[in-house]
Amino acid sequence: MVGACIAVWVFARRNNCSLLTALDICSPGGAIGVCFGRIANFIQPELWGRPTNVPWAMVFPGAGSLPRHPSQIYEAVLEGLVVFVILRFAIRGGALKRPGLLIGLFGLSYGVARILCEFFKAPDPDLFSFSFVTMGMLLSLPMVAVGALVIALTSYRHRVPRINEQRNAYGSGRSDGHRGL
């Protein structure tokens, strides 16, 4: 993820383009990349889920004899396809007219999806785990916060002034040129 952001930054600098616009344009492709990456995790088999007794549970090679959640598929669907669909609807709604909105939406939705998927994923034994909070959840929280902040700043920067604010900025609102008292 960080490498992709650096590559987009280099691209934006070389082509004299706004970084937010370049990130917005690349974010749907990032969601598709996440989807394919999680499918590769499933094929490999790595990053499997917690033990379970749901009917679609699988026994993964190297993970013991217990059936487990296919968490890689959950992640491919939520972090990849669902995030892509959210971004697609945002694009259809005019999000590309507000630089930064799509990348903020990507960060927020990907972070939330990853936190949800962590409930089904087996925690890494070497890393920090406190009760139900995993390292993946903790690492996703800054992405959610930054995504929400970027969305808020984008929304604030592009808000439409209210009627009273227009009148104060342009005079009394009369079209005959009289500014009023």
Determine the average pLDDT of the residues in 145-167: 74
136-170 exposure pattern, b = at least 16 Cβ within 10 A, e = fewer:
bbeebeebbeebbebbeebeeeeeeeeeeeeeeee
Q: Note the pLDDT tens digit of each residue in 45-62.
A: 888 889 999 999 999 888
User: Under a CB-based contact definition with an 8 Å cutoff, are residues 38 and 79 in contact?
Assistant: yes
Provide the pLDDT for residue 63.
85
User: Under a CB-based contact definition with an 8 Å cutoff, are residues 45 and 62 in contact?
Assistant: yes
Provide the pLDDT for residue 164.
55
Q: Note the pLDDT tens digit of each residue in 83-140.
A: 999 999 999 999 988 999 999 999 999 999 999 999 998 877 655 556 678 888 888 9
**To 10 degrees, what angle do helices 101-118 and 19-43 make?**
30
**To 10 degrees, what angle do helices 19-43 and 2-14 make?**
150
**To 10 degrees, what angle do helices 19-43 and 83-92 make?**
150
pTM over 0.85: no
